[in-house]
Amino acid sequence: MSNNVFRKEYRPLTDEEQASVNRVKETAQTLYAIIDSPSAAADPRSLAVAKTKLEEAVMWAVKGFTA
């Protein structure tokens, strides 16, 4: 197990890693905007959960690309 679990030291990203992180965040922002503009019949609680899970997915993806 690595001693850098919480990554207290910054590791510069390669251009490819940075591009992947940017793609994930840009795509997620588009999806977030769709979720954030629901129709009148939408369930607000379900949409709030969807936004939270999307934020979590982006966090894990970024962590995966930057490990």
Length of the chain, in residues: 67
* Prediction pTM value: 0.82
Measure the CA–CA gap between 26 and 20, rounded to whole angstroms.
10
More confident residue, 10 or 52: 52
Specify the pLDDT at position 51.
96
Instruction: Say which residue, 12 or 38, is predicted with more confidence.
Output: 12
13 within 8 A of 66, measured Cβ to Cβ: yes
Q: Residue 2: pLDDT band by 50, 70, 90 thresholds?
A: low
Q: Rounded to an integer, what distance in angstroms lies between the CA atom of residue 16 and that of residue 49?
A: 31
Question: pLDDT at position 11, please?
Answer: 87
pLDDT digit string, tens, across residues 22-64? 999 999 999 999 999 977 788 999 999 999 999 999 999 999 9
